Amino acid sequence: MKPAPFHYARASSETEAVRLLAARGTEARLLAGGQSLMPLLTRRIERPQLIIDINRIEGLDRIEILPTQVRMGALVRQEQALRSCIVREYAAGVAQALAWVANPVVRRRGTVIGNLVTNSPGAELPAVALALGAEFEVHYPDRNETVPAAALLGAGRSVPLGAMITHVLWPRRPGPAGFYEIARREGHAPVVSVMVSKCQDDWRVAVSGVCAGGLACPTVARVIARKFPHPPELRSLAGALQADLSGPLYGDVHSSARYRLEVAPVISRRAAQHLAQQAASA
């Protein structure tokens, strides 16, 4: 299988990448790790006229620690982030989620921001970014801005095609996190995934695959917080989830919305158990 014909351009800076993007509008795609984009090209689901390779832009592969945030460039690979001491200490929820992405070879090449911008309920990170309150640095041809993840991710939202997300900023959040997901086959897109993160008394829970576009559920967080370190009671968790999920439910050929709603509390409990293990071993 080969992709449909396209131009190939190698950008040497963020500015150049954004200028190339602006010249082609919706017909151009940025290529970073390519672990999601390349299959779409070979199956010809995507047929862009221009591929802008950003892999040789210098400095985008850094993980930096800022006073209140952890900053990752668009070329930070998933395996790099999950092994990073900075990420494990200050954004444990991200590290735990990344360990479930695909397999080690794909994670070596796939990027953190690449996983985020899919904005798919079958990706591990978008819901995590919503729950933890991440921010994006976005480059447009005429301006740069920092926007909350909630402005670009979630149901009904998308990443603007004429812009480049150059960095993601995770709030510094020391404390344990747990993650669990259920997939048809390990390493493949999860049906439902849950991240639980605790920072002192602040609990965050990300449930993905139940509500279209991913969701952070405040009620579930409260339920788990009350029960910690014991696994939350299933019935109350299911009730809390149902109360939180006021939006349209997500279902597809892999599993129905009803199944996802039923399995989410079970997965949440396992994620909470995983968090308790992490807290105990720390």
Calpha distance 82→98 (Å, rounded): 6
Closer to another protein by CB, 204 or 270: give it: 270
CA distance readout (Å), 148 to 91, 138, 193: 17, 10, 22
* Cis-peptide, bond into residue 229, ω within 30° of zero: yes
Picking from 58, 52, 63, the residue whose alpha carbon sits closest to that of residue 30 is 52
From the list 105-113, 121-129, 134-142, 202-210, the region that binds another protein by CB under 8 A is: 105-113
Q: Does 148 bind another protein (CB under 8 A)?
A: no
8 A C-beta contact, residue 242 and residue 261: yes
Closer to another protein by CB, 161 or 249: give it: 161
Cβ of residue 20: shortest distance to another protein, in angstroms? 6
Closer to another protein by CB, 80 or 119: give it: 80
Number of C-beta neighbours around residue 121 at 10 A? 25
Q: Does 161 bind another protein (CB under 8 A)?
A: no
**Which token pair is 168?**
């993601």
Cβ of residue 249: shortest distance to another protein, in angstroms? 28
From the list 16-24, 62-70, 158-166, 169-177, the region that binds another protein by CB under 8 A is: 16-24
Q: Does 3 bind another protein (CB under 8 A)?
A: yes
From the list 34-42, 140-148, 200-208, 224-232, the region that binds another protein by CB under 8 A is: 34-42
Write the DSSP symbol of residue 127: H
8 A C-beta contact, residue 132 and residue 112: no
Q: What is the dihedral of CA 271, 272, 274, 278, to 10 degrees?
A: 140
Q: Does 118 bind another protein (CB under 8 A)?
A: no
How many residues touch another protein under the rule CB under 8 A: the total is 38
Closer to another protein by CB, 105 or 243: give it: 105
From the list 50-58, 125-133, 194-202, 266-274, the region that binds another protein by CB under 8 A is: 50-58
Q: Does 230 bind another protein (CB under 8 A)?
A: no
Report the b/e string of 200-229 with b at 16+ CB within 10 A: eeebbbbbbbbbbbbbbbebbbebbbeebe
Single-letter residue type at 51: I
Looking at residues 178 to 197 of the shown chain, list those that interact with another protein (rule: CB under 8 A): 186-187
What does the binding site for another protein look like in residue numbers (CB under 8 A)? 1-10, 12, 16, 19-20, 23-24, 31, 34-35, 38-39, 41-43, 49-51, 53, 55, 102-106, 108-109, 186-187
